[in-house]
């Protein structure tokens, strides 16, 4: 899997939007951008993924830069339950495993 770069940690206030950045300057044309999160003492959980266009689902939105070298996971209204480690991961069809990096630890302030 190609490399991604994320901030080690971020803080946000409850009920405010959160923008989690990810840089992936070496992304290839067939790499999908996936986001997973890991709540405390739980297994990783899928959040969202995309290729080129911005994506929305019930959990979050994914904004992908036009050159695809960066992306941003957007939590529209953070709750305390969103405190977790968020992983930005590139996946291609040659490899079905997920390679986790260190991710961004998101702290939500009440």
Partner 1 sequence: EPEVTQTPSHQVTQMGQEVILRCVPISNHLYFYWYRQILGQKVEFLVSFYNNEISEKSEIFDDQFSVERPDGSNFTLKIRSTKLEDSAMYFCASSHDRDGWDTEAFFGQGTRLTVV
Residue ranges that bind partner 1, judged by CB under 8 A = 30-32, 34, 38, 42-46, 49, 51, 91-93, 95-102
DSSP assignment string, 37-78: EE-TTS--EEEEEESSS-EE-SS-EEEE-TTSSEEEEEESS-
Q: How far is the CB of 54 from partner 1 (least distance, A)?
A: 16
| Nearer Cβ to partner 1 (16/95) | 95
- Closest approach, Cβ 13 to partner 1, in A, equals 27
Q: Report the distance separating Cα 2 and Cα 95, nearest Å.
A: 11
Q: How far is the CB of 61 from partner 1 (least distance, A)?
A: 16
In order of 12, 32, 52, 90, 93, the CA distances from 83 in angstroms are: 9, 25, 27, 22, 31
Cα 84 from Cα 46, distance rounded (Å) = 12
> CB-wise, 23 or 38, nearer to partner 1?
38
Nearer to partner 1, 31 or 82 (CB): 31
Q: How far is the CB of 78 from partner 1 (least distance, A)?
A: 22
State the DSSP H helix or E strand holding residue 90, giving kind and residue range, or none if neither.
strand 84-91
Q: Which is nearer to partner 1, 51 or 80 (CB)?
A: 51
């Amino acid at each position: 899997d190609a490399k991604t770069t994320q901030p080690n940690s971020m803080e946000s206030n409850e009920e405010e939007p959160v923008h989690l950045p990810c840089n992936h300057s070496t992304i290839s044309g067939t790499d999908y951008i996936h986001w997973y999160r890991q709540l405390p003492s739980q297994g990783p959980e899928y959040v969202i993924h995309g290729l080129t266009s911005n994506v929305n689902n019930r959990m979050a939105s994914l904004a992908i830069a036009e050159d695809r070298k960066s992306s941003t996971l957007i939590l529209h209204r953070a709750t305390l339950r969103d405190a977790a480690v968020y992983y930005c991961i590139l996946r291609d069809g040659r490899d079905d495993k997920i390679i986790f990096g260190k991710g961004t630890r998101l702290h939500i302030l009440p």
